[in-house]
Structure 1
Amino acid sequence: MSPASGSPAGTPPHEPGSRRSLQNSRALRWAMGIGAAAVIGVGLVLLFLLTLSTNNRELYERNYARLFVINMVVAGVLLAVIAWIAARLLVRLRRGKFGSRLLVKLAMIFALVGLAPGLLIYVVSYQFVARSIESWFDVKVEGALDAGVNLGRTTLDVLSNDLASKARGASALLTETPDAAAGLTLERIRDQLGVNDVVLWSNAGQMIASVGQSKFLLNPERPSAQQLRQVRAQRATSVVEGFDETGGTDGSSAPKAHIKAIVLVPTSNVGLLAEPRFLQVVQSLPPQLVNDALAVQAANREYQERALARNGLKRMYIGTLTLSLFLAVFGAVLLAVLLGNQLARPLLLLADGVRQVAAGDLTPKAVLQGKDELGGLTRSFADMTQQLADARNAVDLSMAQVVAARANLQTILDNLTAGVIVLDAQGRIESANPGATRILRVPLAAHEGRPLAGVPGLEAFAERVQAQFEMFLSERGQHGLDHWQQSFELHATQSPFSQDAITLVARGAELPDATRLLVFDDISEIVSAQRSQAWGEVARRLAHEIKNPLTPIQLSAERLEMKLASKVEGTDQALLKKSVKTIVDQVDAMKRLVNEFRDYARLPAAELKPVDLNALVLDILQLYDADNATVAVQTDLAPDCPLILGDAQQLRQVIHNLLQNAQDATESAQKAHPEADTPAVLLRTQWIPSVQRVRLVVLDHGTGFPEHILKRAFEPYVTTKARGTGLGLAVVKKIADEHGARIDLTNRVTDGIIEGAQVSLSFATSPNVAI
C-alpha cells in the first residue's frame, strides 16, 4: 500500500532491506489486483444472473433468496478488504509515516469519484425499475381514474371559488344594513345567488339573522374559530362538506354534499367600535355530481388496493439494485485505494524530496523514468536540487571568503599600531582593537557596550571626541567634509617629564550604519624627535655663543697667576692660586659642556660599512680593564654574530656612553650598600636568525629609571644624574636612528623589585657578507 515501502522507478535499491521491501510491495499489489479482478468477475456474473431472472418471474422468485445471499457474501468480502485497507492506512497515519495523509486524501477523493456516478446510476435505475413494474398494469385505466379524480376535485374547487366570489359581492349589500334589518337583505341575497341557506354571524360567532334551512334549526352549526380567523386574514373562505357521509351511488341515496362559503362583511365604520360581521352562504351540490365523484373515488381506491401486490416485486428488484450498487461502490473504493497508491508514489517522492531539501539535505534525489508529466516533474525537481546544491556550495565558498576576509581584516586591525574604536551615536563602545588598548592603556574590551566617557581616565578625551563629532556632523553638509582630524594630550600633568603624558592625533568619520569610526595614533615619539631637533638647534647656537669667550677667560686667569704669583706671599698667594685654579677648572667644565652641545648638534652622517661588532667591543673594553674601571665590565659575546652595517666611530661612542651610564648607575647604587660587593656591568651580543638582526645589550645593577623618565629618557637634558647634562642617551638615540637600529630601554624587575636597567640595540646585518 505504501509507496515509500519500495524504491521508486528509476532508482534501484542498493540495500537488501530496500530490495525486500520492493518485492513485498510488488507481491502485495499483484495479490490485491487479482483479488479485485475476482470480485469484479463475481459481480458481473451475479448481474448476469439477475438479468436472466428478470425475464422469468417464477425463476426470479424461486432463486431470489440465493442471489441475495451470494450478493451479500460478495459485498461482505469487499467490505472486509476495504476495512483491512482502511485499518492499515489508519495505523500508518497514527504512526506518522510520511505520505499517510496524502494516501488517505487520494483514497477519499477516488472513492467519492466512484460513489457519485454510482449513486446517479442507482437513482436512474431505481426510477427505471419502478416505472417498468408500473408499466405491467393498465396505464390508461389508472390514468383515467386519476384524471377523473382530479376532474372532480377541480370541479368542486371551481364551484367553491365561484360561490365565495359571489358571496363577497353580495356582502356589500350588508355594509350599511343594521342587524335589525338584515333579514330582508339576506332574503334578497339568497334569491340573487340561488343558494339554499344564508346566515349572518357576529364577530363572537352569534347568529344575527338567517334565511333558508338554518332558520328552522334550534342549534345551527357555527363557524369554527379557525374558519373565522382565516376569513379575517383572507376575507373569504369556502369548503366542500358532506362527501365523508355514507351513501350509495344512485341519486336517491346520495349524501347531501354542499358548498359552504364564509365572507367578511365590509363596514363603513372606522374605529375600535366597528365590530366585523360574517356572511355564510350554503349551496347544495347536484346529486348526480356527488354520485359521479364518489364512484370515481371508489374505483381508484379499488385499483390501488389491487396494485399493492406489485410492491413486493418492486422491493425485490430495488433490493437487488441496491446490492449491485454496494458491489459497484465497494469495487470503486478498492480501485480508488489502488489507483491512489499509484498516483501518490511520484507525489510522495516529490514531497519527501521537498522535506529533505527543507531540512538542508541537497544530496541527489531519486527520479521516475516514466514519460508522463509526473516523471518529468521528479526529474526537474532533481535538477533543481542539484542547482540548489551548487548554489549553496557557491554561497558557502563566498561565505568562507567573507569569513577569511573578515579574519584578515581583524588580523590587520589587531596588528595595527594605530588605535581603532567604533562608537554608536550615543558614544558607546561597540568594538576596539588591541592598538587602542595599548595606546590608551585601558582594557577597552572590558568596556564594550559602555560609553567611552565612562571609562576611567578617558572622560576628558571622550568629551572632546564627542564635541568633534557633533561639530563635524553639523558642518558636513555645508563644507562637504568626510572626516575630522584633531590632536589630543592625554594624562598631561605639570611635569614635562610625566611618563603618562600621551600625544595623540585622531581622525573621525561616520560609517554607513550611523556608527562612528575613531582612528588615532600615538605621536609622542614624533613630538620627542621634533623636540630633540629643536634642542639640537639650541645646542648649536649655545655652543657658538659660549665657546668664544671661554679661551680668553682661561688665558687671562693664567696670565694673572704668572704676573702676581711672585708679588704676593703667604695666604694671598694661596688664595690667588686657588682662585685661578677654580677659574681654569670651571672653564674646562664649560668647554666640555660646549663640546657635548657641539657633538649633539653637529653629529656627522653615519658612513655605514661592514663592522665586526664583537671585535669593536673587545677593542673598546681595553679601556675598561680592572686598572682603569671602578666597576668591572663582563662580556657575553655570541660567536656566530655576522658583520653589521655601521659606522665604527659612532658605534664606539654609543658603547662608551652606555658603559659609562651603566657604571655610574651601578656605582651610585653600590654607595647605598657599601658592605656588598660591587656587581659587574654585563655587555652581551646576540644573533637572532628569525629576524636576521644582531642585538647589543648592556645591563647594569643600578636603581633603574623612574617611571616618569622611561618614556623621555632619550630626549636631551633628561637625566637622573646630579651633574649629568642629559645628552648621553640622546646622542645614542640619534646614532641608533642613523643606523636604522631599534633601541629599547627597560627596567629589570624580579618579584616586583627593580634590579637595574637594560638598554638594547638591534642592528641589520651586512648583505655583502655571508652568514
Structure 2
Amino acid sequence: MGERQVNIPPPDAAERLALQGSRTIRWTVGIGAAAMVAIGLVLLLLLTQATNNRELYERNYTRLFTVNVVVAGLLLSVILWIGVRLAIRLRRGQFGSRLLVKLAMIFALVGFLPGLLIYVVSYQFVSRSIESWFDVKVEGALDAGLSLGRATLDVLANDLANKSRTAAATLADVPDATAGLALERIRDQLAANDVVLWTSAGQLIASAGQSNFVLNPERPSLQQLRNTRAQRSVAIIEGLDDPGLQNPGSARIKVLAVVPTASFGLLAEPRFLQVTQPLPPTLVANAIAVTDANREYQERALARDGLRRMYIGTLTLSLFLAVFGAVLLAILLGNQLARPLLLLADGVRQVAAGDLTPKAALRGKDELGGLTRSFADMTQQLADARGAVEKSMDEVNSARANLQTILDNLTAGVIVLDADGAILSSNPGATRILRAPLAASEGRRLSDMPGLEDFGAGVQAQFESFLGEQTEHGIDHWQKSFELNAGHPGTPPQDATTLVARGAQMPAQSNVNAARLLVFDDISEIVSAQRAQAWGEVARRLAHEIKNPLTPIQLSAERLEKKLTGKVEAADQAILTKSVKTIVDQVDAMKRLVNEFRDYARLPAAVLKPVDLNALVQEVMQLYGADGGEVLHGNVPIKLDLDPACPRVMGDAGQLRQVIHNLLQNAQDATEGAPVREVTLRTQCNEGTQRVRLAVRDTGAGFPDYILKRAFEPYVTTKAKGTGLGLAVVKKIADEHGARVDLSNRVVDGVVQGAQVSLSFAMAPAVAS
C-alpha cells in the first residue's frame, strides 16, 4: 500500500525565527551543561589530590571551596531554569507540556532517588570518619579545664564582693573629708591593691592603693554604677580578653568589685566602693595555659570543618550532576518518545477547534508515522467535506437573507407562531401595525401582549378551527377581519384599527407542533375611504331631498309676513316679524349646509397646472385684510413664513385656495379659549425630495388621539356646531393633487402646545427636471 505525500506549507518568517531561537537556546544550554560537568570532574580530581597532600589542601582550601560553591550554584540555576520553563509551558497550557513534565519527573526521580540515597549514606560516613580523626577526649578535657578556671575566678569574684559589702558598711558614718583613712584600713583588711570611693555621678571622693592613678583613677561606667545599685554589688574579672594574655609576664588579670555604701547624712547622695584585688600568679598562669591550648586546638579543628564542608560540597555537586543529567535526559528522551503523539494530539486539537488545514506527518515507517499520515489524509477529506457544506450554507444564508429583506420591507405584518400561540419571529411591519415590541417579546404568547389580548385569542381560535376544517375540507388557509382595540378599556371607539388577517400552517412532519404563519394588513384607510364614499352618497341624496322644500318654506314665510303686515296689532306684528326672520335665517343656514354637502359629494376633478404657492397664499391673505407678513383676523394674528426660493407646484388654484381657507379657518377656531391665540402659515422647499411643503400651525389645544386617526372622515369634529367637512374636503382635494397630508400635535416638554396640518406637493415638472 503506497503512502500519500502530504504537502506541508513552509514556515513563515516568525516560525523560522522561533525555530532559530529554540536551537540557539538548546546549543547554549548544552554547551553550558558540558562545561559545568567538566569543571565538576576537575574539582573531584583536585579534591582527591588535596586529600592526599595536606600542604596542597591547606594552600588551596578557600579557592577549591569557592569554585565548588559556584559550580553547584550554576548547576542549580540551570535546573531551576529548566523547571521554570516547564512550569511556564504548563501554566500557559502549551500543548504537550503535561506529557513532557511527566516524563521529566519520572526520569528525574530515577536519577535523583538513588543519588539521594548515596548522598545520605556518604554524608554520614564522611561526618563520622572525619570526627574519628580527632581525639574527642582531649577536646572534652580542654573544655572542662576552661570551665573549671572560669568557675574558680567566679568564686574569687563573689568572695571579694561579699567582703566589700561588709567593708562598705563601716563607711556609713564616715564623711567625705576623712574617707581616705577609712579606705586605707579597708585596703589592709582585704589585702587589696586599690580601694576607691565614688559618687553616684562617677566623681572621685577618696582612694587608697598601690596603683599609680591617684590623680586619675579608673572610674567605673555609669552603667556599672546603675547595675550596682540594682543588684547591690557587681564583681567582674578584668584582663581575660587583653591581647597581652598570651604573654603571662605582661598579663594584668584582676578581680574588681563595686558595692554601694550608706551615705553620710540624711540628704547626701549615695556612694559606691570600688575594690580591686590581684589574682594569684599560679592561677593566672594556669588559666592562660588552658586558654592558649584551647585556642590552638580550635584552630586545628577549623581545618576539620573545612574538610567536612569540602566533602559535603563535592557530594552535593555530584547529586546535582546526577539530577541535571536525569532532567536533561528526560527532556531529550521525552521529546523523542512524545513527538509523534504530540504531533497527532496537536492535530486532533486543531481539528476539534475547526482548523482543517493540511497537517504535518512523519516520514518514518513505524506504526506512529503511519498513524500521523492517516490522520493527515482524514483531515484533508474533512476539509473537502466542510468546503461543500459551507458552500451549501452560503446558498441557504443568501436565500434566507433575501427572504428577510423581503419581509423587512413588506408593509404587511408577518408573524410566525408556535402551536401554543407564542411568537417565534416577526417583521417590522407587524411591529408598526400592532404598535407593540414584538421582536423583544419572542417566546411570549400573542394573547398575553398588552392591548392584543382579543386579537391573539381570536387568531388562536381561528387556527384551531382551521386545523379541523383543513382535515375535513382540504383548505389551506383562513382569512378574517379583526377590529384592533375596539371596545378596549380606555380606548375611544373611533380609535379602532381594522385588520384583515390570513393564516396558514407551515410545512412540517407533524401538523400538531408545526409553526403557524400569520399575515395581516391595516385596512383602516380603505375602510375610511369606503366610509367617506358612503357619506358622499348620503350627502348628495340629503342635499337633493332637503334643498327642494327649503325655497317654498322661505317664500311662504315671506308671503305670510307681507299679507299680515298692518292687519294685526303692534304686539302681534313684532312676533310675526321675529318669527318670519327666524324662519328665513334657518332656511339660509340649511341652504349653506346643503351646499357644503353638495360641494363635498360633487367635488370637481382637479385641473393640475403649475401654481406659485407663495403668490396663492398672498392672494388668500388679501381676503383677511392684508397683503402679507402678519395679519389680524378675528383677533387672531396670522404669521406668514414663506420660503422665497419655493418653486411652482402642480395644482388647481381654486381648490388650493379652498384648502388654505379651510385650514386657516380651522386653526383660528382651534385657538378659541387658548392663553395665546396665534396662527402660522409656512411654505418650505425640500430639494432632496423634490417636494414643497405647506404647513398651518396653531396654538390651540391640539387634536385628541382618536381624532388624529379619523380626522379626515366626514362629520368627525370636536366643534359643537361643526359639520366635520372642512378637513374631509382638504383630504379629498389633497388626494386629487397627489399630495400627502399629515396631522400632528406640537409637544413641548411633554405638554401639547397646539396642532399642525401640513401638505406636501410635488414640484412642477420643469422645476423638478
| TM-score, normalization by structure 1 | 0.52
Give the match's secondary structure for 1:691: coil
**Matched-pair contact (CA < 8 Å) for 1:746–1:757:** yes
Instruction: Give the structure 1 partner of residue 16 of structure 2.
Output: 15
**Matched-pair contact (CA < 8 Å) for 2:447–2:457:** yes
Instruction: Give the structure 1 partner of residue 493 of structure 2.
Output: 498
Instruction: Give the structure 2 partner of residue 730 of structure 1.
Output: 728
Q: 1:669 aligns with which of 647, 653, 673?
A: 673
Instruction: Give the structure 1 partner of residue 253 of structure 2.
Output: none
1:565–1:362 Cα change, 3 Å:
same
1:86-113 CA distance string (max 9 Å, x none): xx9xx999989749989x99xxxxxxxx
Q: CA deviation at 1:717?
A: 0.9
1:679-737 CA distance string (max 9 Å, x none): 32111122233433222111112222233322221111111112211111111111112
Instruction: Give the structure 2 partner of residue 679 of structure 1.
Output: 677
Distance 2:657 2:635 in 1: 20
Q: CA deviation at 1:477?
A: 2.8
Give the match's secondary structure for 2:723: coil
Instruction: Give the structure 2 partner of residue 452 of structure 1.
Output: 446
Instruction: Give the structure 1 partner of residue 639 of structure 2.
Output: 634
1:390-412 CA distance string (max 9 Å, x none): 76567557656655665665555
Distance 1:627 1:456 in 2: 48
Letter in 1 for 2:741: I
1:618-676 CA distance string (max 9 Å, x none): 2111112347544221111222323222222111111111110111111x224xxxxx5
Q: CA deviation at 1:529?
A: 1.0
Give the match's secondary structure for 1:685: strand
1:470 paired with 2:464, answer yes
The aligned runs of 1:350-749 (5 Å cut-off) are 352-366=346-360, 406=400, 409-410=403-404, 412-445=406-439, 447-493=441-487, 498-513=493-508, 514-568=514-568, 570-625=570-625, 626=631, 629-666=634-671, 668-670=672-674, 678-749=676-747
1:18-62 CA distance string (max 9 Å, x none): 25767999999xxxxxxxxxxxxxxxxxxxxxxxxxxxxxxxxxx
Distance 1:422 1:349 in 2: 50
Letter in 2 for 1:638: D
The aligned runs of 1:224-239 (5 Å cut-off) are none
**Matched-pair contact (CA < 8 Å) for 1:613–1:644:** yes
Letter in 2 for 1:649: G
**Matched-pair contact (CA < 8 Å) for 1:99–1:348:** no
1:341–1:620 Cα change, 3 Å:
closer
Distance 2:97 2:585 in 1: 112
Distance 1:762 1:100 in 2: 76
* Larger relative contact order (CA 8 Å, sep ≥ 6): 1
1:466-514 CA distance string (max 9 Å, x none): 2211111111133222211101123324999624322211111122351
Distance 2:476 2:616 in 1: 55
Q: CA deviation at 1:425?
A: 0.9
Give the match's secondary structure for 2:710: coil
- More off after superposition, 369-378 vs 706-715: 369-378
**Matched-pair contact (CA < 8 Å) for 2:99–2:338:** no
Give the match's secondary structure for 1:669: coil
Letter in 1 for 2:638: V
The aligned runs of 1:149-228 (5 Å cut-off) are none
**Matched-pair contact (CA < 8 Å) for 1:9–1:369:** no
Distance 1:394 1:467 in 2: 45
**Matched-pair contact (CA < 8 Å) for 2:8–2:358:** no
Q: CA deviation at 1:595?
A: 0.6
**Matched-pair contact (CA < 8 Å) for 1:703–1:757:** yes
Distance 1:476 1:9 in 2: 62
Instruction: Give the structure 2 partner of residue 764 of structure 1.
Output: 762
**Matched-pair contact (CA < 8 Å) for 2:677–2:700:** no
- More off after superposition, 556-565 vs 758-767: 556-565
**Matched-pair contact (CA < 8 Å) for 2:632–2:638:** no
Letter in 2 for 1:549: P
Distance 2:561 2:334 in 1: 136
Distance 1:748 1:613 in 2: 24
Distance 1:496 1:716 in 2: 21
Distance 1:566 1:405 in 2: 94
Distance 2:98 2:450 in 1: 67
1:750 paired with 2:748, answer yes
Q: CA deviation at 1:538?
A: 0.5
1:477–1:493 Cα change, 3 Å:
closer
1:306-333 CA distance string (max 9 Å, x none): xxxxxxxxxxxxxxxxxxxxxxxxxxxx
Distance 2:642 2:692 in 1: 11
**Matched-pair contact (CA < 8 Å) for 2:485–2:491:** no
**Matched-pair contact (CA < 8 Å) for 2:422–2:446:** yes
Distance 2:486 2:523 in 1: 14
**Matched-pair contact (CA < 8 Å) for 2:708–2:744:** yes
Give the match's secondary structure for 2:743: strand
Instruction: Give the structure 2 partner of residue 315 of structure 1.
Output: none
| TM-score, normalization by structure 2 | 0.52
Letter in 2 for 1:486: K
1:618–1:8 Cα change, 3 Å:
closer
Q: CA deviation at 1:760?
A: 1.4
Letter in 2 for 1:490: L
Gaps of 5+ in 1: 1-6, 29-87, 106-337, 671-675
Q: CA deviation at 1:573?
A: 3.2
Letter in 2 for 1:471: S
**Matched-pair contact (CA < 8 Å) for 1:422–1:515:** yes
Q: CA deviation at 1:375?
A: 9.4
Distance 2:750 2:679 in 1: 21
1:376–1:757 Cα change, 3 Å:
same
Q: CA deviation at 1:524?
A: 1.7
Instruction: Give the structure 2 partner of residue 65 of structure 1.
Output: none
Give the match's secondary structure for 2:668: helix
Q: CA deviation at 1:768?
A: 2.4
- Figure out how many residues of one structure are paired with residues of the other and give that number: 467
Give the match's secondary structure for 1:694: strand
Give the match's secondary structure for 2:722: coil
1:342-365 CA distance string (max 9 Å, x none): 999788756644443333234454
**Matched-pair contact (CA < 8 Å) for 2:485–2:495:** yes
**Matched-pair contact (CA < 8 Å) for 2:407–2:414:** yes
1:378–1:448 Cα change, 3 Å:
closer
Q: CA RMSD in A?
A: 4.5
The aligned runs of 1:80-95 (5 Å cut-off) are none
Larger radius of gyration: 1
